[in-house]
């Protein structure tokens, strides 16, 4: 079962790279909606490219070029004026489409002939999404399980390794039994028995099966980079869990995680209280990055790490960072338990080959009514 396939480079994601061009064909989350206040602009780096994201006074979000067309000052240090953004250097002002609408120092304005680039944005499940590709964007990927009643928790966290390593981890249910051997996964029976892994390619990506003797866990990869599964959380219980792995650059990425819980009424207030407690506790602890570095240097073992609210995340951080900043996948020896990883790599390789040859690529379609299952009676 050794896999000596010479896979394409899935780590390089800048403009013009095969994987970068592929990911730009889809809507991608780029920022937490709640962190983008009206009247503020922010620098964002996505897919090895810099942008300026701002929210106008009307509440609408806009994404435009990183730099001003005049003399290259960064627009993210500019000033939001209504739904426009004005450069801090000499006040050239752009609307949300990137059109220059004012050049205050110029007695004869030539603003109508000046335009910076802009990209379509849309807000969904607590994130600002952008379409960074060419031409018309594809249909927006909605999943009803993320909408409607219930508590939605959306957050971005930055990870110091390539997006594809995290994406492969998303389809690696076997690692629960090893990496997360000491974790809350024990409470819900996800790390006792090594599951039998199965999968199939679908119209939206991959349906993933983790078969245990009394339950089959069903989850999905929504192409190209989102895991949709049911995940158990200490405070939230079972959640509908969506995690997009979006490259910041070739060696780091952001995980955009939207969790829809089934808490109602008083349970929500109780959750907020416990969440604030956990946050206060985490503020007193060594940072996950510092702990990870100590473990990688051999000064601490993962099994010695006392329980903490971000334990599962640290466990993943340690093993994924240990794979290196540019994993050489052709050296891997895949077994039957890597079936989903092989499928993911093969789909990417196939689509990148079609893209390079100018051949038709698969048109992915997410059925909005898609569901997951823990297979458990809880
Ligand atoms: S650099 Fe932006 S207005 Fe001059
Ligand atoms: Fe994990």
Atom of ligand 1 nearest to the CA of 91: 3
Dihedral pair phi/psi, residue 313, rounded to 5°: -65, -40
Q: Could you give the CA distance from residue 319 to residue 175 in angstroms, rounded to a whole number?
A: 10
**For ligand 1, atom 3, which residue shows the shortest CA distance?**
90
Q: Could you give the CA distance from residue 324 to residue 261 in angstroms, rounded to a whole number?
A: 34
Whose atoms come closest to the Cα of 88: which ligand? 1
pLDDT at 2: 60
SS3 3: coil
Residues of the chain with pLDDT under 70: 1-4, 377-378
Mutation pick for ligand 1 pocket among 81, 87, 94, 116 (CB with most ligand atoms within 8 Å): 87
Atom of ligand 1 nearest to the CA of 73: 1
Q: Looking at the domain 144-357, which fold is it?
A: Naphthalene 1,2-dioxygenase Alpha Subunit; Chain A, domain 1 (3.90.380)
Mutation pick for ligand 1 pocket among 66, 73, 101 (CB with most ligand atoms within 8 Å): 73
Atom of ligand 1 nearest to the CA of 90: 3
pLDDT at 187: 78
What letter does residue 138 receive in the DSSP assignment?
P
**Distance, C-alpha 12 to centroid of its chain:** 16
88 lines ligand 1 (CB under 6 A): no
Whole-number Å distance, alpha carbon 118 to ligand 1 midpoint, is 17
Rounded to 5°, the CA angle 248-171-244 comes to 35
Respond yes or no on whether the N-terminal peptide bond of residue 224 is cis (omega within 30° of 0): yes
Neighbour count for residue 367 (Cβ, 10 Å): 12
Whole-number Å distance, alpha carbon 209 to ligand 1 midpoint, is 54
Whole-number Å distance, alpha carbon 131 to ligand 2 midpoint, is 28
89 lines ligand 1 (CB under 6 A): yes
Whole-number Å distance, alpha carbon 167 to ligand 2 midpoint, is 11
69 lines ligand 1 (CB under 6 A): no
Whole-number Å distance, alpha carbon 144 to ligand 2 midpoint, is 25
73 lines ligand 1 (CB under 6 A): yes
Contact 66, 52 (CB under 8 A): yes
**For ligand 1, atom 1, which residue shows the shortest CA distance?**
71
Q: Where are the domains of the chain?
A: 27-131, 144-357
70 lines ligand 1 (CB under 6 A): yes
Q: Calculate Rg over the CA atoms of the chain.
A: 22
Whole-number Å distance, alpha carbon 58 to ligand 2 midpoint, is 40
Could you list which residues have their CB under 5 Å from ion ligand 2? 316
List, in sequence order, every residue forming a beta bridge with 198; answer none if it has no partner: 209
Atom of ligand 1 nearest to the CA of 71: 1
CATH 3.40.50.150 fits 27-131, yes or no: no
Neighbour count for residue 280 (Cβ, 10 Å): 9
Q: What is the pTM of this model?
A: 0.95
**For ligand 1, atom 4, which residue shows the shortest CA distance?**
90
SS3 21: helix
Contact 90, 130 (CB under 8 A): no
């Amino acid at each position: 079962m050794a896999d000596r396939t010479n896979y394409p480079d899935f780590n390089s994601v800048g403009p013009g790279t095969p994987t970068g061009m592929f990911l730009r064909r889809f809507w991608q989350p780029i920022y937490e909606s709640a962190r983008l206040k009206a009247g503020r602009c922010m620098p964002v780096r996505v897919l090895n490219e810099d942008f300026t994201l701002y929210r106008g006074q009307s509440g609408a979000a806009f994404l435009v070029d990183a730099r001003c067309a005049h003399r290259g000052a960064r627009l993210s240090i500019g000033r939001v004026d209504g739904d426009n953004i004005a450069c801090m250097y000499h006040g050239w002002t752009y609307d949300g489409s990137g059109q220059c609408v004012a050049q205050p120092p110029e007695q004869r304005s030539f603003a109508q002939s000046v335009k910076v680039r802009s990209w379509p944005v849309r807000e969904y499940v607590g994130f600002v999404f952008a379409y960074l590709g060419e031409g018309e964007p594809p249909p927006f990927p909605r999943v009803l399980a993320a909408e409607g009643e219930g508590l939605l928790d959306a957050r971005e966290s930055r990870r110091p390794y390539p997006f594809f390593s995290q994406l492969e981890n998303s389809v690696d249910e076997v690692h629960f039994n090893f990496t997360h051997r000491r974790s809350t996964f024990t409470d819900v029976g996800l790390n006792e028995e090594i599951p039998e892994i199965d999968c199939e390619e679908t119209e939206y990506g991959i349906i993933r099966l983790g078969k245990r003797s009394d339950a089959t866990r069903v989850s999905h990869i929504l192409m190209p980079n989102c895991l949709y599964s049911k995940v158990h959380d200490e405070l939230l219980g079972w959640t509908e869990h969506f995690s997009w792995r979006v490259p910041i650059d070739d060696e780091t990425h952001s995980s955009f995680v939207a969790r829809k819980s089934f808490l109602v009424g008083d349970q929500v207030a109780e959750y907020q209280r416990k969440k604030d407690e956990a946050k206060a506790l985490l503020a007193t602890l060594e940072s996950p990055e510092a702990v990870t570095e100590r473990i990688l240097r051999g000064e601490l073992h993962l099994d010695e790490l006392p329980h903490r609210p971000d334990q599962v995340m640290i466990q993943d951080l340690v093993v994924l960072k240990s794979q290196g900043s540019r994993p050489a996948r052709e050296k891997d020896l895949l077994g039957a338990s890597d079936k989903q990883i092989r499928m993911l790599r093969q789909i990417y390789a196939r689509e990148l080959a079609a893209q390079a040859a100018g051949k038709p690529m698969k048109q992915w379609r997410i059925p909005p009514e898609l569901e997951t299952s823990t297979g458990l009676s809880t």
